[in-house]
Homo-oligomer: A and B are copies of this chain.
Amino acid sequence: MRRTSFAEMPCSVARTLEVIGEWWTMLVIREAFNGVRRFDEFHSRLGIARNVLAARLQRLVEHGVLERRQYQDRPPRCEYRLTEKGRDLYPVLVAMLAWGDKWMAGPEGPPVTLIHSCGHALGSHLVCSSCGEPVDPRQIRPQYNIAKTSSAVADADA
């Protein structure tokens, strides 16, 4: 059954999910950040069915997250590289990694540590860029910018 599209929802989370929310997609993106560019390498590292991988890569190209470049003519071979739009997904990946490290790691601890060019581990915590304080979600309120949001949301808020 075809999934509901989130593409037209008046919500940036939903629209992001429309691009990255299919099963396997964030792992494909993880590999792209690891420097993987060629189909066969994505395939061997992920252990994903070839047709599923092809579909995920194609969708990411369509959404401008990856760009496809041909590097060989005979036979034709392409590589897939993150665009600026794709690189901007890094905070999403880092946030998922941090949560998984904290809540889903086994007794052996986090599988991978990200090391920044400063030489230290990339710490990950949410800070307000205006006041510099750590952010607790209970300190946040949403301001709705669009006059006409979905009727369900408007009714629920009334």
Contacts and interface: CB of A to CB of B under 8 A. Distances in A.
Interface of A: 3-4, 6, 10-24, 26-27, 30, 33-34, 36, 41, 44-48, 85, 87-105, 108-118, 120-131, 133, 135-146, 149-150, 152-153, 155-156
A10 B8 CA distance: 35
A12 B103 CA distance: 9
Contacts of A26: 13, 17, 21
Contacts of A133: 116, 118
A143 B115 contact: yes
A85 B103 CA distance: 7
B34 A13 contact: no
Chain A interface mostly? mixed
Contacts of A21: 21, 23, 26
A12 B101 contact: yes
17 contacts: A11-B27, A11-B111, A12-B96, A12-B110, A12-B111, A13-B96, A13-B100, A16-B96, A18-B104, A44-B155, A47-B152, A91-B95, A92-B92, A94-B95, A116-B133, A116-B135, A120-B128
